[in-house]
Chain A
Amino acid sequence: MRNTIQEIISGAYSLAVGMKITICNLFRPTVTLHYPHESATMPARFRGHVELACDPETGKPKCVVCMACQRACPSGCISLDGQKSESGKGKVLTAYSLDFSLCSLCGLCVESCKFDALRFSKQYNLAFTRREECTFNLLERAQVKK
């Protein structure tokens, strides 16, 4: 009997404490971002999909078509093509496509690139209505951005 009464009182007290905590939070500012009106800033290392880095002087992609990224990709979502450059030295990138529907955003391609020609974009809210839209032409994207 005594235990029961004790339990009722301590239980009621614990409930009161719980209600106090929630009511205190009612008057605190919200912690969520108001998404469409505000959006989060991505940290520098954020792994979005990849994009081609361009040489600031020439404005051309730094890529030398060494194929390291294609080999490093676990999902096989990168395909690129290049041709001999006109000066006869090295190769020039002619096509770089990323199949985003396969990409797992692991970042192994960027890590494998020795020429800093790949970097992560900060885009995080990508959405598509058709499958074909998932295939990015990164070369075009790099040019548009410029």
Chain B
Amino acid sequence: MRMEFVLEIARVVLYVVGILAFVGFNASYLVLLERKGSARFQLRHGPTEVGPFGLIQPVADAVKLLCKQILIPKNVDVILFFMAPILVLLPAILCMVTIPFGATIAARNFNLGLLMVFAFAAFNVFGILIGGWASHNKYANLAAARVVAQNIAYEIPTLLIVVAVVMVTGTFNLQEIVAQQAGGFWRWNILRLDLNPLQPVAFLMYFICLLAETNRAPFDMVEAESELVAGAYTEYSGMTFGVFFMAEYTNIVLGCCVATVLFLGGWQCPFGLVPGPHWFLLKMYALCFTVIWVRWSFPRVQFYNLLNLSWKILIPVSLANIILTALMLKVF
């Protein structure tokens, strides 16, 4: 009994540290990947000076951000101002708890894991709204208002797509969803055309929603630097901005993790070799790279086209997707 208790404590500590390290590592090294990637997309070098190939650049960045003064503008609602970055980052970290990195590697194996992810993921919009509002800056206010409209618009198709997947899998348990996709890439949900011929389209739509939900270019209304200076982050400096930045990348990682679990078979091997966490990470980082790739390929969409895309295209198609899935389930 006592031994079990100690083991459980050790397990919890291990996972807390592990997840925090994972989040911190990803946030810093995805920034590096973004900088390096964007540089290579644009025929430049990117950071090269700190460490070999600039590999220690994230450390330098972190030190710089930590050393910077945190400016608090006049008329700012200080409590909300500082609460906002934490409110954005924390839910994203919390969601990591349920992600199954491998058959046995998951902090908690919930039955309602998927539900929890989306419940917490919806929080980040509060953070940005509060941050933008508390900043007492017109650009930040405009950006905050945009972000709320954008997140509401994209929450709906995301959930509709996920519902269709859940109808196929019949469970909210992420570990189980992965387990069902064993046996090769044709068993992955993205290619289960026998269950629903629209599945690849659903994945694509999920990916678009992922970009919009994480406020990534071409849907980066929250920053929109050529329109709103730095949007909701305009007044944030030093590490407060750093936390927003971390949150952005953590959200991307989370979104990609969920996409991997739901559509790409999680830690399963595509062609019957040894499954394991390496497959999960490979798929997840491939998705992250695609997110970066998309960002450096396109201009930003207009705000109303962004909403049009959601309300006029994504939502109707995802509804059709649900109906089709239901029909297929009923018929076959």
Interchain CB contact under 8 A, B48 and A34: yes
Question: What's the nearest-Cβ distance from chain A to residue B217, in Å?
Answer: 13
- Known A8-B313, A26-B40, A30-B40; judge A19-B294 contact (CB<8 A): yes
The 8 Å CB contact of A22, one of B45, B293, B313, is B293
> What residues of chain B lie closer than 8 Å to A23, measured between beta carbons?
41, 293
**A19-44 CB contact bits vs B (8 Å, 1 = yes)?**
10111011011111010000000000
Contact assessment for A18 and B43 in the assembled complex, using a CB-CB cutoff below 8 Å: no
Question: Is B44's beta carbon under 8 Å from chain A?
Answer: yes
Q: With A8-B313, A18-B298, A34-B48 known to touch, is A28 a contact of B43 (CB < 8 Å)?
A: yes
Q: Contact: A25 with B297, CB < 8 Å?
A: no
Which residues of B283-308 are within 8 A (CB) of A?
A: 293-294, 296-298
Q: In the complex, are the beta carbons of B297 and A18 less than 8 A apart? A: yes
Indicate if B42 sits at the interface (CB-CB under 8 A).
yes
The 8 Å CB contact of B45, one of A15, A21, A32, is: A32
CB contact between A30 and one of B37, B43, B294, B313 (< 8 Å): that residue: B43
Residues of chain B from 35 to 54 with CB closer than 8 A to chain A in the complex: 37, 39-45, 48
Chain B nearest Cβ from A11, distance in angstroms:
10
Shortest CB-to-CB span from B165 to chain A, Å, is 22
CA distance A34 to B39 in the complex (A): 13
A19 touches B42 (CB 8 A): no
> Which residues from chain A contact B294 at a C-beta distance below 8 Å?
19
CB-defined contacts of B293 to chain A, threshold 8 Å: 19, 22-23
Q: With the chains together, A25 CA to B313 CA distance in Å?
A: 32
Contact A30 B297, beta carbon cutoff 8 Å: no
Picked from B43, B45, B297, B298, the residue with its CB within 8 Å of the CB of A34 is B45
Q: How many angstroms from the CA of A30 to the CA of B46 in the assembled complex?
A: 10
Interchain pairs with CB closer than 8 A, number:
37
**What is the distance, in angstroms, from B136's C-beta to the closest C-beta of chain A?**
38
| Alpha-carbon distance between A113 and B25 when the two chains are bound, in angstroms | 62
Complex Cα distance, B135 from A113, in Å, reads 60
Contacting residues, chain B, for A22 (C-beta < 8 A):
41, 293, 296-297
Are B44 and A32 within 8 A (Cβ)?
A: yes
Q: Give A25 to B41 CA distance when docked, in angstroms.
A: 6
What is the minimal beta-carbon distance from B54 to any residue of chain A, in angstroms? 12
Asked if residues A25 and B43 are in contact (CB atoms below 8 Å), the reply is: yes
Bound state CA distance, A29 and B42, in angstroms? 10
Instruction: Give the complex CA separation of A21 and B44 in angstroms.
Output: 15
Contacting residues, chain B, for A4 (C-beta < 8 A): 313
Task: From known contacts A26-B41, A30-B44, A32-B44, infer whether A15 and B313 are also in contact, taking CB-CB under 8 Å.
Answer: no
Which residues on the A side are within 8 Å of B313 (C-beta)? 4, 8
State A32–B41 Cα separation when bound (angstroms). Answer: 13
B296 pairs with A32, CB closer than 8 A: no
Of all chain A residues, which has the CB nearest B298?
A18
Chain A residue nearest to B49 (CB atoms) is: A36
Contact B43 A32 (CB under 8 A): yes
Enumerate the 10 nearest inter-chain pairs by beta-carbon distance, A residue then B residue, closest first: A22-B297, A31-B43, A22-B41, A18-B297, A26-B40, A19-B297, A32-B44, A30-B43, A30-B45, A26-B41
Query: Given contacts A8-B313, A18-B297, A26-B41, could you give 15 more A-B pairs where the C-beta distance is less than 8 Å?
Result: A15-B297, A19-B294, A23-B293, A25-B40, A25-B41, A26-B37, A26-B40, A28-B43, A30-B45, A31-B43, A32-B43, A32-B44, A32-B45, A34-B45, A34-B48
A residues at B contact (CB < 8 Å): 4, 8, 15, 18-19, 21-23, 25-26, 28-32, 34
A sample of 5 inter-chain contacts (CB < 8 A) reads A15-B298, A18-B298, A22-B41, A28-B43, A30-B39
